[in-house]
Structure 1
Amino acid sequence: ALDVRAKTINMEMKIAAAKALAELAREDVPDEVANAYQGARPRFGRDYIIPAPFDPRLIAIVPPAVARAAMDSGVARHPIVDMNVYRAELSARRDPIAGLMHTIYDRVRRDPKRVVFAEGEEEQVIRAALSFVAQGLGRAILVGREERVAQMAKSAGLELGDQIEVHNAKLSSRNGVYAQFLFERLQRKGYLFRDCQRLINTDRNHFAAAMVAQGDADAMVTGVTRNFSNALEDVRHVVDQKPGHRLIGVSLVLAHGRIVVVADTAITEMPEAADLADIAIEAAGVARRIGLEPRVAMLAFSTFGYPPGERTARVHDAVRALDARRVDFEYEGEMAADVALNRHAMAAYPFSRLSDTANVLVMPAFHSASISTKMLQELGGATVLGPLIVGLDKPIQIVQLGATDADIVNMAALAAFGVGG
C-alpha cells in the first residue's frame, strides 16, 4: 500500500491480501518454514490454513496482490509499471541473493533447460525439482528408483506431475551407452569395462553426469548427500575441463548491497603465479556473466611490497603475468583485503590501477579463500553462494552437503544459466 502511495485501504485490497494468503497456504512449504517448526513440515488442512509468518515467500506474494488491487480500484497514486521487477525488489529486501537470482531466473526462463538432479530420492531434492519446474525454469530429471521416489513424494505430500522424469540408473535403456562412454575415458586409468558398468548402474553422480555428457540432459546438480570433493571426483570421471580454461571454484558474496566474486574457493590448494593469473581470468569471466564489470584485486597479507613474503612474491608475479597477457579487465595487486574493498584505504595508493573498489577477489591460496568466505557467512552477516564450479566442459554444479531445497533450486538455475562458462 505504501509502495503505490495508496490514498486508503479499501475492501478490494483486503480481499486481494486474503486470496493471496489462501493460495500460498495451499502450496508446499520451503525448508525454512519446516525448520521453524522444528523440522515438522506443515501442510494445508485444519491445523494450517494461513502461511506461517516467517514464510520467505510472503513478501513477494502478498504485497504485489495488494498493490495490483490498489491500482485496479483507482486508489494508487504511484502505480507500479513492471510487477515482475517489483516482486524481485521485494524479495531482495529480505534476501540479498534474490536480486541476483531474479536476473538469472529470467534468462533461464527464456531458454528452459533439462536439469538432472542426481540425488532424486532425497525429499529436499524432489521439492527442489518441483520448484524448478513450477517456476518455469525447465524440465527436471530425478535419478533414483521409481518406487522409492514415488514413496518419498507421497509421504511428503507432493505430486510429481508430468514435468518430472524419473530415471533408474540400473534399469535405464541408456546405461550400456553410458558405460561404454565411461570405459573409453577410463580404460587407461586402471578401470575395466565391468568397473565402468558398475559405476553407471550404482552411482548416481556418474549416471547423471553421463546423461549430460551424452546430451540426454542439459545440466546437472548434486552434492546433497556427498561432500564436495567426492562429488567433483565422480563428475570429473565423466566430464572434461573445458579446453583453454582452468577449473576453479568461485563463491559469490553478497554483503552491504554489493556482490563480490571470490576465487579460488574449492579447487587449487596452493596456486603458483601462473595459476593465480589463470584464476583471475576465469573469475573475471564469472563476474561478467552475472552482469558485473570486473575489477580484480590480487589479495595477499601485504600491500604493494610491505611486508614482504614468499606468497606475496607469487601474487606480485601473477600481476606481471596478467600484464604480459594484456587482459581486458582492471586488475591490481598485491594488496590486503581492506585496501581492495575500502575506498578510503585505497586512497593511500593513488597509483592503483583500479577505478573503484574490487568486485573480484583472487585469494593467494585455497585455504584462505575457504576460511574467509565461511567466516563471512557465519560472523559477518554476509550471504555466500557457492562454491560454483567454473571451467568444466558441461554445466554441472555441486551444492553443499545437506543443502535446503531453495539452495538446490538456485544452484540448478545457475547450472542451467551456465555461470561456470
Structure 2
Amino acid sequence: MTRSVYVAGIGRGDGRQAIELGVMELLTRQAGPVGVFRPLAHAGPDPVFDLLRARYRLAQSPESARGMEYARAAELLAERGTDELVGRLLERFRAVARAYDVVLVLGTDYADTQLPAELTLNGRLANEFGAAVLPVVSGLGQGADSIVAEVRNAHHAFASLGCEVLAMIANRVRDSDAVRAARELAGHLPVPVWVLPEEPALAAPTVAQVVEALGAEVLLGDAAGLARDVRDFVFGGATLPVFLPALTESCLVLTPGDRADLVVGALAAHSASAPPIAGLLLTLGARPGPETMALAARLAPGTPVLSVPGGSFGTATALSGLEGKLTAATPRKAEIALGLFETHVATGVLTERISLSGGDRVTPMMFEHRLIERARADLKHVVLPEGTDERVLRAAEVLLRRNVCELTLLGDEAAVRKRAADLGVDLGGGESPVQVVDPVTSPLRERFAEVYAGLRAHRGVTYELAYDVVADVSYFGTLMVREGLADGMVSGAAHSTAATIRPAFEVIRTKPEASIVSSVFFMCLADKVLAYGDCAVNPDPDATQLADIAIQSAATAAQFGVEPRIAMLSYSTGTSGSGADVDKVREATELVRRQRPDLKVEGPIQYDAAVEPSVAATKLPGSEVAGQATVLVFPDLNTGNNTYKAVQRSAGAVAVGPVLQGLRKPVNDLSRGALVQDIVNTVAITAIQAQQGTREREERPARPGRDGRTEAEMKGNA
C-alpha cells in the first residue's frame, strides 16, 4: 500500500518549497523508491520537481509527475464540476502510486490559479489520494498572535474536511516571534506544531536569478560568482570615500556604467574582503573602458559585473520583489533549506507519524542519509587540511548547515576566507561556525614540533626539523587528532594518498589489535550495501594480513549497519583449485575462523558464488555466506581496486570511501576526483568512527599521554 504525504499551503509566500524538500529528504531516508506528484501545475518547467529529480536521482519523468495545468483545470471545473476534475487527477495520481512505494504530493501554490476554494480542493484531493496532509502557514510579516490564529484556523479547516493532519508548520517567522508562537501553540492542537524562522539566505536571490529577472548582460563573472546570494542592494552615486563605507557583505552594487571609480573601488574592497560583495550591476547601458574592465577582472576574478540598459530607479523597482528560489541550479540553497528543516522539525516524530516501513531494503540515498543522522546524533570535531579547495569549502558549508559535525579548516586564514567569499560560501552557518587555523602562524606549531620530535627521535628527527614538518597541513591536522584537539581528519582532495596516510602511520599509529592499516569501500547498490576490502592501501597482503583485513572489514561493516558475512575472494571456490594465490586465501580464511569463530566467513570463493544465490546453490550449497556475502575481501590491491571501479561505473553503484581502519583515531583519505557529496559522506563516516572510538575509550581507564596529561586535560588546555 502506497503511503503518501500531501504538503499543502493556505496562501502565498509560505516558503513551502523548503518544507517539500525537507519532507522528501525524510521520505528517501526511510523508503524507496519515492515518487513525486503535483496535481496542478503552471505551464513550463517545474523548478521544484527538477530540484528533487536532480538531488535524489529520480528516474521519474516530468510528465508523469504532473496532473494537469491550472488553465485546463479551471476550464474543466467550470464545464464539468469538481468531481470530474478530481476524478481525472486521481487517475493520474494512481499511475504514480502504482510505480512507487511512497509519493510526495506538492499542493497548489495559490499563484494566478483562477481556482475558487483552493484550500478545499487540496483537502479533497488529499482525501481521494489517501494522503496525510502537512499544512504550511506563512508567518511572513505577521506577529506571534496572528501566526497562532492562522495555524489553528488552518488545522481546523483541513480537519473539518476529514483530512488526516500529520502536523502543522509555521514558516518564515521572525526570530522575535518564533519562540512565543511555538510556546503558545505547543500542546494546544492534537498534532505536533513546528515553527521555522525566516532564513535570509533562502529569501536572497542569486546573482544568476537577478540576471534572469532583468535580462542583464554578464560582462564578467564565472559560475561560482553567479551563484552568490544577493543579501542587499547598494546604490552608488556618491564619491568613493562616501561610497565605500556604505558597502555591505554580499550586496549587489548598482551604479551607472560610467562610474569607473566606483567599479574599481567596489571590486578592490571585495578583493580585500572589506567587505566581500555579490557583484556589480551597471545601469544606463554604459560600460567602463577596456582598461577598467581588464583591471576589474584582475582585482576580483569571478566576481560578476552585469549590465542593463535601464536607469537605477527602474532597475531597483524590478528588483524590489525578487526573492530567492529553490532550483536545481541552487544546490547551496537546498542545503540551507534542509539545515533549517532538520534544526526546527522533530524529524523522528514526523517519521513515526508518517508510519513508513522500508523493510530490509537499503538504497544508496538511505545509506547516505543514515550516515548524516548518526553523525549528527553526537557531534564530533573533524579537521580538513585542504582549506582553500573549492569542493572542501562547499562541503564544509553543507556539513555546518546540516549540523553534522564541528569543523576546522587549515590554511592561511585570509586566503581561506577570501576563497570562501569568492565562492559565496558561508562558513558561519549552523550552530557552530567553522574555525580556520594557519599551521604556519598557529601557537600550536611549537607544541606539535615537540610532540613530533619526540615520536620520531629514533629516526633522527630534531626539534628544528619537526618545526618545519608540522607546518605541513597534513601533519598539522594529524597532530590535532593525536592531541585531542580534533576527533578525526579527512584529506586527499588535493593531496596524494601517501601524503594523507604517512602522517597517520607516524603520529596516530595502529590499534594494538591491528597488524596493519587497511581500507574498505561501501558499495551502495540499488537495494543493498556491500563492503569491499582492501581496495586502496595494501598492494599484496600475505595470509596473516589478509585475515586482519577481513576481521577489520567485518568490524567496520557492522559499525555502519551492514551485517558481516565475509567472502574471502579468489579465482577458485572451495577445494576446486590450487596454487599459491588460492592457498594464501585458504590460509587466511582459516586464520579468521580461529581468531574470530563468531564471524561468518567463507573462502576461497569466487565473486559470483559470493553474491548470487543461484550460483552459490551449485558451488557451495548449505553455506551461511555463499550467495549472501556482505563483506568481500579481495586477495590483492590490483584485483580490489579494479573491481570496485568496474562495479561503480558499470553498475551505477555509489562508492563511499576509502574508509581507513586499524588506526587508533580516524583519518580518512579522499579521491582527488572526489565530489562535494563524497567529502560530506567521508566526513560523516569519520565522525561516526570517532563516536565509536570515544565509546571504546570510555570503557577503559584514562591513560596519561607522553607528557602526563590525559586527552581530556589536553582538550581543556587547548
Quick check: TM above 0.5? yes
TM-score normalized with structure 1 length: 0.82
Per-residue CA shift, 1:45-66, capped at 9, x if unaligned? 579943333767869979x99x
1:225 corresponds in structure 2 to 494
Q: Please state whether the residue corresponding to 1:195 is helix, strand or coil.
A: helix
Which amino acid letter does the alignment assign opposite residue 227 of structure 1? Answer: S
2:377 corresponds in structure 1 to 110
Instruction: Give the gaps of 5 or more residues in structure 2.
Output: 20-47, 49-171, 173-198, 207-221, 231-318, 342-347, 694-718
1:82 corresponds in structure 2 to 350
Q: Distance in 1 between matches of 2:357 and 2:672?
A: 30
Q: 1:48 to 1:270 in 2, by over 3 A?
A: farther
1:193 corresponds in structure 2 to 463
Is 1:372 paired with 2:643? yes
Q: Distance in 2 between matches of 1:191 and 1:140?
A: 30
* 2:418 counterpart (151, 155, 161): 151
* 2:325 counterpart (44, 50, 66): 50
1:175 corresponds in structure 2 to 445
2:290 corresponds in structure 1 to none
Give the drift of 1:222: 0.8
Whether the aligned pair in 1 keeps the contact of 2:609 and 2:616 (CA below 8 Å) is yes
Describe how 1:384-403 pairs up with structure 2 within 5 A: 384-403=655-674
Describe how 1:7-406 pairs up with structure 2 within 5 A: 11=10, 17-18=16-17, 40-41=223-224, 42-44=227-229, 49-53=324-328, 82-83=350-351, 96-161=363-428, 163-201=433-471, 203-245=472-514, 246-348=516-618, 349-354=620-625, 357-406=628-677
RMSD over aligned CA atoms reads: 3.5
Give the drift of 1:238: 1.8
Whether the aligned pair in 1 keeps the contact of 2:497 and 2:669 (CA below 8 Å) is yes
Q: Please state whether the residue corresponding to 1:106 is helix, strand or coil.
A: helix
Which amino acid letter does the alignment assign opposite residue 513 of structure 2? Answer: G
Which amino acid letter does the alignment assign opposite residue 82 of structure 1? Answer: L
Whether the aligned pair in 1 keeps the contact of 2:573 and 2:603 (CA below 8 Å) is yes
Whether the aligned pair in 1 keeps the contact of 2:481 and 2:665 (CA below 8 Å) is yes
Q: Please state whether the residue corresponding to 2:552 is helix, strand or coil.
A: helix
Which deviates the most, 147-156 or 347-356?
A: 347-356
Per-residue CA shift, 1:145-200, capped at 9, x if unaligned? 11111111111122322611111111111111100111111122242322211011
Which amino acid letter does the alignment assign opposite residue 292 of structure 1? Answer: V
Whether the aligned pair in 1 keeps the contact of 2:204 and 2:324 (CA below 8 Å) is no
Give the drift of 1:295: 0.6
Whether the aligned pair in 1 keeps the contact of 2:530 and 2:562 (CA below 8 Å) is no
Give the drift of 1:15: 5.2
Q: 1:379 to 1:343 in 2, by over 3 A?
A: same
Per-residue CA shift, 1:214-249, capped at 9, x if unaligned? 111111111111121232113322211111113111
Q: Please state whether the residue corresponding to 1:352 is helix, strand or coil.
A: coil
Give the drift of 1:389: 0.5
1:36 corresponds in structure 2 to none
Give the drift of 1:118: 0.8
2:684 corresponds in structure 1 to 413
Whether the aligned pair in 2 keeps the contact of 1:270 and 1:365 (CA below 8 Å) is yes
Answer 1 or 2: higher relative contact order, Cα 8 Å, separation at least 6: 1
Per-residue CA shift, 1:3-28, capped at 9, x if unaligned? 5365x977569955456569786589
1:70 corresponds in structure 2 to none
Q: Please state whether the residue corresponding to 2:371 is helix, strand or coil.
A: helix
Q: 1:238 to 1:131 in 2, by over 3 A?
A: same
Q: 1:84 to 1:210 in 2, by over 3 A?
A: farther
Q: Distance in 1 between matches of 2:660 and 2:394?
A: 23
Q: 1:252 to 1:127 in 2, by over 3 A?
A: same
Q: Please state whether the residue corresponding to 1:358 is helix, strand or coil.
A: coil
Per-residue CA shift, 1:46-99, capped at 9, x if unaligned? 79943333767869979x99xxxxxxxxxxxxxx9634997x999xx9x94331
Q: Distance in 2 between matches of 1:158 and 1:165?
A: 14
Q: Please state whether the residue corresponding to 2:658 is helix, strand or coil.
A: strand
Give the drift of 1:340: 0.2
Q: Distance in 2 between matches of 1:315 and 1:373?
A: 19
Q: Distance in 2 between matches of 1:27 and 1:391?
A: 46
Whether the aligned pair in 2 keeps the contact of 1:26 and 1:43 (CA below 8 Å) is no
Whether the aligned pair in 2 keeps the contact of 1:109 and 1:137 (CA below 8 Å) is yes
Q: Distance in 1 between matches of 2:442 and 2:531?
A: 40
Q: Distance in 1 between matches of 2:13 and 2:626?
A: 50
Whether the aligned pair in 2 keeps the contact of 1:89 and 1:99 (CA below 8 Å) is no
Which deviates the most, 11-20 or 246-255?
A: 11-20
* Percent identity over paired residues: 26
Which amino acid letter does the alignment assign opposite residue 495 of structure 2? Answer: R
Q: Distance in 1 between matches of 2:409 and 2:651?
A: 36
Q: Distance in 2 between matches of 1:122 and 1:238?
A: 25
Q: How many residues align?
A: 392
Per-residue CA shift, 1:360-403, capped at 9, x if unaligned? 00111111001100111122211111111001111111111142
Which amino acid letter does the alignment assign opposite residue 228 of structure 2? Answer: R
Which amino acid letter does the alignment assign opposite residue 216 of structure 1? Answer: L
Q: Please state whether the residue corresponding to 2:571 is helix, strand or coil.
A: coil
Which deviates the most, 161-170 or 337-346?
A: 161-170
Which deviates the most, 403-412 or 208-217?
A: 403-412
Q: Distance in 2 between matches of 1:85 and 1:266?
A: 43
2:4 corresponds in structure 1 to 4
Per-residue CA shift, 1:341-362, capped at 9, x if unaligned? 0001111122424275100001
Which amino acid letter does the alignment assign opposite residue 213 of structure 1? Answer: R
